[in-house]
Amino acid sequence: MSDDLFLDSFRKLLDGLGADPWPELSASGFLDVLRPEADGGAGLDLSGLFPLAFETGRKAAPSAIVQTLLARLIDPEALDCADAAPVLAAGGVPAETARALCAASDAAVMAGLIDSLQAMTLDHASTRRQFGREISKFQAIQHQIAVMAEEVMAARMAAETALMGAPLEVSGAAAAVAKLRCGEAALVCSGVAHAVHGAIGVSAEHALHRYTGVLHRLRLSHGGEAWWARRLGEWALSRREDAATLARSL
């Protein structure tokens, strides 16, 4: 199956999930995509995980889906796993590696959520009219949307860079950059989205608060921005190299 068909199948699966998604997810085989082919999985590496995690966020599907993918590297029966780090650690994965892998995966989910925030914000700004014209025509709104676009791309690039190679060989430094940068983007983009939407964005009838609520919870999962900034600083100081060399080594 081609990559496009594989991802399209995953999108359709997410679109059709009901109140209890786990029986359908388990039957689909997608929960085992990271497991080796010899064990019945698809043997995907982290670059293959990224689009699945990104799409999970973009559709506001449960982030536990991605954590379950990670947990099943160790426990093939894991289901509805909110945090894969303890499962990985119990299976002998070093705690730092487990945390970095979970954080990088959360960053990819966050990047997908942020991408949807941008789409929702653009749609609202293009249809909401004030003073006889769409609010997207006002310079102040255009400036906020431009800032959001920069953050969306930065978050995606950081998350995609962190998810490379074999799952248990994830780079702690790249994971730190991804979680830190996606957390910063989540803060900015949530603020812009709610500012452009106005009061309707926090109403129960509108979907916006579901996305921003999950984003803020994921900002704190497996370490918030401050925690990862300290770890990244410690890594950089231990290398004793200039900034350009450090950036290239991520």
| CATH number of the domain that residue 100 is part of | 1.20.140.10
Percentage with pLDDT > 70 across the chain: 99
Q: Which residues pair with 130 in a beta bridge?
A: 133
Q: What per-residue string of b and e applies to 139-161 under the rule 16 or more CB within 10 Å gives b?
A: eebeebbeebeebbebbbebbbb
pLDDT at 219 over 70: yes
Rounded distance between C-alpha atoms, residue 243 and residue 232, angstroms: 12
pLDDT of residue 141: 93
Which range marks the domain in which residue 202 is found? Answer: 1-249
Q: How confident is the model at residue 241 (pLDDT cuts 50, 70, 90)?
A: confident
Across all residues in the chain, what is the average pLDDT? 93
CB contact at 8 A, 159 and 178 = yes
Which of 178, 177, 179, 202 lies closest to 190 in space, CA to CA?
202
Specify the amino acid at residue 27.
A
pLDDT at 213 over 80: yes
Q: Into how many domains does the chain fold?
A: 1
Q: Which residues pair with 129 in a beta bridge?
A: 134
DSSP 203: S
249's tokens? 């080594």
pLDDT digits (tens, 9 = 90+) for 2-59: 678 999 999 999 999 998 999 999 999 999 999 999 988 999 999 999 999 999 999 9
Q: How confident is the model at residue 205 (pLDDT cuts 50, 70, 90)?
A: confident
CB contact at 8 A, 89 and 183 = no
pTM (2 decimals)?
0.94
144's tokens? 């906020």
